[in-house]
Structures are given as structure tokens and as C-alpha cells.
Amino acid sequence: MIDKKSDEYVQFEKLWDGVTPKGNNISKKNAFRSKMKNSCHQEGLEFSKINSFLVYTGNSKPVDPNTILKGDVKVTNPPRRHLRKF
């Protein structure tokens, strides 16, 4: 369940609506939504606000056993060429 009072969600809502200190900025809203749409499609998810939030927080994909966590960054090494299945 998404905690709507968390700092991450509040920041995501501001970016989703294009809220800036001077007011609403439509171009920033559209740019952020476009980035989220591209990220959702790369993850293989349908574009929606909930899926965008999951991609934004990094909770959209389960961690592979080959993934190494370095701080907050997930590093996955691709399989070697001779081990890839084409």
C-alpha cells in the first residue's frame, strides 16, 4: 500500500502536477510524465500513476539474485556472451 503522507509520495505528487514555488508549470509536468512513461515502457509496465510511482521509487522490479546493491544503486551484470540465449 502506498503511504500518501510519505516524503517520497509528496515529492512525486509535486512533480506529477508540475508544482513549483512560483505556481504550476505545465512544461515541467509534461516532461516528468514523459520520462515516467518511457521508464514504465522500459520496465514492461503499463503507463499509469501508480506504476509511475513504483518506478520513481525503484520498487517496480524485484531484485535479481545477480543484482548487487551499492548504496541505493542496483547493479546487475548482464550474462556473458557465450552464456546468452539468443
Q: Domain limits of the chain? A: 7-83
Per residue in 50-83, pLDDT (tens digit) is 999 999 998 877 656 666 666 666 666 665 666 5
Residue 13 amino acid letter: E
Per residue in 29-41, pLDDT (tens digit) is 999 999 999 988 8
